[in-house]
Structure 1
Amino acid sequence: MHDNSGPILAFRYYGNMAPCLKYNIVPTSHVECTYSPTRSFWSAPTVINNPNLQINGFAVGLNYGGPYYESLTARRTRDDRILLFRPHDHARHLADAATAVGMTAVPEHIFLECVRKAVAVNTSYVPPPQTDAVLYIRPLLFGPSVPRIRDSPAQYIFCVFVQPGAVYPRTAAQNAIVLSDSGADDVPTAAETQKCSRTETWDEGWKRGLGGTGQLDGRQAERDDYTMKLHLENTRHGSFIKGFTASAFIGVQEEHGRYTLMVPRHPSRSIISDSCVAIARQLGWKVKVGPISVDDIDTLSEVIATSTWHWLLPIRLIFCPSARQTVVYHAGSHKAGSACRVLRNAIGKIMGGEVSDIWQWCVLVTQED
């Protein structure tokens, strides 16, 4: 269940000493909390001294839906504090996901207690501030038991896992492709769905060979080095941008040094996208939230993909196979545009405690947690 898909950059931090960096899977501890419907009660968080789960192969969470999860981060500041970024919002997102499918929602105070405890028992793995790295946090909710009635699991487990790592290393501008108008656009995107194990990573596997029209687009995208896949919502009024497979979509229009952010519907479902919107408004930029026609991508000066894993990732070009059109941004430069740099720098400073947190997004973690 834990998403250790390969080696990552690991850190062990010892106060003022130089950090030890190596590529491997870190044996972090995790936190578990169990809900019993017979008592309508969540157990006290328990620390497990490994990142592994023991689970029955017939468990509801493996066979009948879920698990549901969030992705957030913790960063160490220059004055050696540890800050969580927007944990209250992630708690509400997970609660909404659980409620939508009839699962018992994790109360916000329990979510925060478990996340803070998971970070507190792994403080030595929170990367030092001079590195472009964070502690990734994965809260996970699923049904672990084998029920008598398929849709009525006897209990739920809420887990919080952590792993240190560098912010996703693809910092250079990426090539994107609009997937085929038929079939592929039924794939849910990270920005528009609750985060279930069926989305994001599993969608990538689906496109690589498990059927559907999207299979051809996904394979062609890999062959032609399109690292980002853009999905559309097709309506009788036209085709509109939904988002990238595992990232939200932000468009930027620039005119005489003035910026306008273009954001598809429901920006609050992506924490980083929502943060960009708030920062842009605070900077005096215009923000337009609503449908973005795929025909309008050539009116944008920048396109940005946002997610917890890479924060803000610039898009170098977008290829539309149906129109045989390629839209290139910043003359094909592999560097981020000016709006992307401003927003990424602003978010990084807030996460790192370098500027005033006027939105009160960050929550302090101490070893006493």
Structure 2
Amino acid sequence: MTNNLEITLSTSKKTKPQPDQLGFGKYFTDHMFIMDYATEQGWHSPRIVPYQPITLDPAAKVFHYGQTVFEGLKAYRTSDNRILLFRPGKNFERLNHSNNRLSIPPIDENFLLDALKKLVEVDQDWIPSAEGTSLYIRPFIISTEAALGVAPSHNYQFMIILSPVGSYYAEGIHPVKINVENHFVRAVPGGTGAAKTAGNYAAGLKAQEVASDRGYSQVLWLDGVERKYIEEVGSMNVFFKINGEVVTPVLNGSILDGITRNSVITLLKHWGVPVVERKLAIDELYNSYVNGTLEEAFGTGTAAVISPIGELFWDTHQMKINQGQTGELSKRVYDTLTGIQNGTVADPFGWVVEVKS
């Protein structure tokens, strides 16, 4: 299929934004990747084309039944002008995991990586070089069959769009205040929480809105059955350092298998830091706060890499963690991961993939 990749270059290039105006997901590059699927043909017609609107029938199943999945990763420009991707193979592996849960046909992961490299190469001038900036990469699949019957679609489109993004933390990483959600539920085992699909994020918007109105940056989700076990924070995985040991909720079918999460666990083990994946109840966490053994907390994800948690509000309890300051381990993890991503820190794990240009 790679030999059939067609490339149509844009004849009208966009004006690139200034590095200090990038924000997140506001600007898009000159080109995009598209590939189609039909039951009788399989995945076909891979192409790189000028960035453009798409036209869909109003009856397309994506609008009615939410059969869609997506991924998120980044490309980085190093100080010596190389272009690096961070663990892209894991993203495409997870994409196929999501495909399976949403009854979407799998895609050749090796081909996707080759196609992504080519797209990034075509739009490499869009990769910013200022500290903390990167090129955000959004692969996604939508169901396009025009039919209202509740059944898997017979037609899909896979696309990749690119967006230059600024530093998630304009003035360095700062701990955020988190509201523990007792009413709304993000996902349950057996549902789609372990897939990266649009409905999971739509389900979290109301709780986020409520938390914001109360002055909190994000939501800490509890499990949807007993409402007592910690799952995720916002759209990120979450870690707690308790009495010298780092604890993160075990993957249980409702928690996303985050690539940054996996990287943090690997890094901590490499350093000899005790780390365990297990069920963690909110009342256990509160007790560790009361007895002084809750040392640090942070979320992990592609956009922020590390987001330190400075305060948790649960029920009537306010927990100020590490005096509201970024913890030593959180900072070390952040500096190491971003250093590997940007090529300034050695990569002993073989995580970065260089884009040839």
Same fold, judged at TM 0.5 (above)? yes
The yes-or-no answer on 1:260 pairing with 2:254 is no
- CA–CA distance in structure 2, aligned partners of residues 11 and 296 of structure 1: 53
- CA–CA distance in structure 1, aligned partners of residues 323 and 148 of structure 2: 61
Give the alignment of 1:233-312 within 5 angstroms.
233=223, 239-254=228-243, 259-266=244-251, 269-297=257-285, 298=289, 299-312=293-306
Deviation at 1:235, TM superposition (A): 5.4
The yes-or-no answer on 1:314 pairing with 2:323 is no
SS of 2:198's partner is coil
Deviation at 1:282, TM superposition (A): 0.5
SS of 2:93's partner is helix
Give the alignment of 1:167-186 within 5 angstroms.
167-169=167-169, 171-180=173-182, 182=183, 184-186=184-186
Give the alignment of 1:15-30 within 5 angstroms.
22-23=21-22, 25-30=27-32
- CA–CA distance in structure 2, aligned partners of residues 59 and 143 of structure 1: 7
Give the alignment of 1:40-59 within 5 angstroms.
40=42, 42-59=43-60
Whether the 8 Å contact between 2:67 and 2:102 is mirrored in structure 1 is no
- CA–CA distance in structure 1, aligned partners of residues 193 and 150 of structure 2: 28
The yes-or-no answer on 1:112 pairing with 2:113 is yes
Counterpart for residue 355 of structure 2: 365
The yes-or-no answer on 1:338 pairing with 2:339 is no
- CA–CA distance in structure 1, aligned partners of residues 56 and 320 of structure 2: 48
- CA–CA distance in structure 2, aligned partners of residues 103 and 310 of structure 1: 29
Whether the 8 Å contact between 1:27 and 1:51 is mirrored in structure 2 is no
Whether the 8 Å contact between 1:268 and 1:274 is mirrored in structure 2 is no
Distance 1:27 1:162, change over 3 A: closer
Whether the 8 Å contact between 1:11 and 1:21 is mirrored in structure 2 is no
- Larger CA deviation: 95-104 vs 20-29: 20-29
The one-letter code sitting in structure 1 at the alignment partner of 2:248 is: V
- CA–CA distance in structure 1, aligned partners of residues 179 and 159 of structure 2: 35
What are the Cα deviations for residues 211-248 of structure 1, in whole angstroms up to 9, with x where unaligned? xxxxxxx42x2232111100112656x71101112111
SS of 1:351's partner is helix
- CA–CA distance in structure 2, aligned partners of residues 249 and 51 of structure 1: 37
SS of 1:25's partner is coil
- CA–CA distance in structure 1, aligned partners of residues 248 and 52 of structure 2: 37
Counterpart for residue 90 of structure 1: 91
Deviation at 1:300, TM superposition (A): 1.9
- CA–CA distance in structure 2, aligned partners of residues 289 and 20 of structure 1: 38
- CA–CA distance in structure 2, aligned partners of residues 319 and 233 of structure 1: 17
Deviation at 1:51, TM superposition (A): 4.8
- CA–CA distance in structure 2, aligned partners of residues 11 and 354 of structure 1: 30
What are the Cα deviations for residues 36-66 of structure 1, in whole angstroms up to 9, with x where unaligned? 21023x2242112115322222111222223
Deviation at 1:150, TM superposition (A): 4.3
Whether the 8 Å contact between 1:241 and 1:292 is mirrored in structure 2 is yes
Tell me the C-alpha RMSD between the 2 structures.
Answer: 2.6
- CA–CA distance in structure 1, aligned partners of residues 175 and 181 of structure 2: 19
Deviation at 1:361, TM superposition (A): 1.3
Deviation at 1:166, TM superposition (A): 1.4
Distance 1:107 1:292, change over 3 A: same
Q: Kindly tell me the number of residue pairs found equivalent between the two proteins.
A: 328
Gaps of 5+ in 2: 1-13
SS of 1:269's partner is coil
Deviation at 1:286, TM superposition (A): 0.6
TM-score, length-scaled by structure 1: 0.82
Percent identity between the aligned chains?
A: 20
- CA–CA distance in structure 2, aligned partners of residues 282 and 268 of structure 1: 23
Deviation at 1:341, TM superposition (A): 0.4
- CA–CA distance in structure 1, aligned partners of residues 294 and 196 of structure 2: 29
Distance 1:152 1:232, change over 3 A: closer
